[in-house]
Structure formats: C-alpha cells, structure tokens
Chain A
Amino acid sequence: MSNAVSALQGASYVGGIAEIRELGLRGMITLRGDLADKKLIKAVKGIAGTMPDARRIAMNDKAGAAWMSSDELLLMVDHADAPSTIEALNSALKGTHFLAANVSDARAVFEVSGPSAREVMAKLAPVDFAPDAFTQGMFRRSRLAQVPAALWMSREDAFTVVCFRSVGEYMFDLLSVAAQGGSEVGAY
C-alpha cells in the first residue's frame, strides 16, 4: 500500500490576521440517494450520530455528515476508516437506489481560525458571514474566489473549508493572501 499524503502535507500560514492550516488527510464519502429513506437515515446515524437537516452539518468527535444537496450527503470519518465505512453502507443499503463513493483523496481540507476568520472568509466568498447570519452548525457550498468550496464553522472563530485537491495549493495561497497581516477590514 502506498503512503497516503494530503495535498499540502499540513502547510500553515501564521502571523496574519487569521491562521491558515491544511488539516491533512480526512476520510470523505459521497453518499447519494433518497435522504428521506429510513434505511439511509439509519445508516447515516450509525456513522455520524445524527442526520443533518438541509444546509446543515452534524459533527461529533469521530465523524460528521454534511447536507450537500437534496440527494447528497458528505460523510466524514478517519481517513483509514473510509473503505470499511463504505462497505458498511453497501451492506446496510443493499437493494435501495444509492451511491457511496470514497472521495477522500480527491479533496483538500483547510482551517481558517482567529478573531478575524469571518473577515478572511468574507473577502473570498459571496456569502453573508455576519455573526448573526452564519452560525455554527450551518453548512454552505459556494465559491472561494475562482474555485468551488464547502465550508462551515468548526468552532467559534474557526472555519473549515473543503475544496478539490487539484486546487488545494490555489486555495492555500488564496486564504493566506486574504489573511495577510494588517489587512483587517473591520466589517464585523
């Protein structure tokens, strides 16, 4: 087995108005199907604990489930657990119309943290990041500058950003520039 590494192998940018960190490998599974299906809901609860509502994310210490669209979820587990999770889904959902695909190595994951994290995000995405408009538990797919991304607040003053691995370096550079020292806007 080859040695799996993440896109930027944990690169970080510190000293700006927010810290940018590549979070390394994460197991990610695209699950498509009927999100109202009882078997599917049970299987998702078995992995992530909770079935996320529309435009929201359910996370516990080990795993998470994010609502990608009306027929798609993104399941997050430890990188090493992705293949066995897919096997579990395949047997739990046998006979229903669904798709479970391991996309772990097709993605890059970043964290933007610090008191100005909202501002860094707001510079790049056409999303309302005002503290009362974007809150923990919300999950948003949008774009950051020129590339698609999915994002949520992992804790107060910290955002997690997921993008395609092929644009991982672009994303890191983008976030780093938006977080440059002295670039506070003071909007929030």
Chain B
Amino acid sequence: MLILDCPCCGVSGEETEFHAGGEAHLKRHSVGSTDDQFEEYLFMRENPRGVHFERWRHNNGCGKWFHAARCTQTLEVFGTYSAQTYEPPKEIKDAISAKRPGWSWRNFS
C-alpha cells in the first residue's frame, strides 16, 4: 500500500484514492520525429527494481495530476512534486540519494 501526499491539495491519502498514470517525464515524440523516437515514446518503458518515477492523479480528490518518486521494491515514497516540470526537483533527488546512494534512472541520478 502506497501512502501519497498530493502536492496540489495537501491531502495525504492511500493509493486507492489516486490513479496511477504511468511513467513520468516521457518526451512525446510526434510530428517530425523519427520512427525510432516514436517507438521509444509509444512502447519503451522503464521497469526498474528500486527507484522509479511515475505520474499519478488524485482522482478521488482534487482531481489534479502530479509526479511521484518511489521504490518499486519497498513501496517507499521518496516524495511527490508538481506535474509542471520536465525533471524531478533537487529536493526529490536529494531525498532519494539519502536513502539510495548511487541511484540512477534514465538520465537522472
């Protein structure tokens, strides 16, 4: 069971109050992209054991989207942050580094 803090409304709720929205920080390759880029956007997903970044929606609550950083192995949530960003903010990365030194995920570390 995940306990998520919604950064939009400030409610701390368990995961059935939210809806998972897939991997975070995908680049939406579209018109003008190569076939490889489009394949990457459509199909290629991380499936890590450990640190992971996801999009979530507070669907039984304020209705807003946000980002979450968590561990797929322990279900520990390192932090949640705004949906309006292309990469995790420094305090989220620092929180992960404190618990999982040397972590990396796609281009982030």
A140 at the interface (CB under 8 A from B): yes
0/1 string, A35-70, CB within 8 A of B gives 1: 000000000000000000011000000000000111
Candidates B10, B60, B63; contact of A142 at CB < 8 Å = B60
| Chain B residues bordering chain A, tally (CB within 8 A) | 14
Candidates A55, A70, A126, A148; contact of B64 at CB < 8 Å = A70
Given the known inter-chain contacts A126-B13, A140-B11, please indicate yes or no for A148 contacting B62, CB distance below 8 A: no
User: Residues of A contacting B64 with CB < 8 Å?
Assistant: 69-70
Given the known inter-chain contacts A54-B10, A140-B11, please indicate yes or no for A70 contacting B17, CB distance below 8 A: no
0/1 string, B1-19, CB within 8 A of A gives 1: 0000000111101101100
Task: Closest B residue to A67 by CB, please name it.
Answer: B9
Q: Jot down 26 A-B pairs with beta carbons below 8 A, ordered by A.
A: A54-B9, A55-B9, A55-B10, A55-B11, A68-B62, A69-B8, A69-B9, A69-B61, A69-B62, A69-B63, A70-B8, A70-B62, A72-B62, A126-B16, A126-B17, A127-B13, A140-B11, A141-B11, A141-B60, A141-B61, A142-B13, A142-B17, A142-B61, A143-B16, A148-B59, A148-B60
Interface residues of B (CB under 8 A from A): 8-11, 13-14, 16-17, 59-64
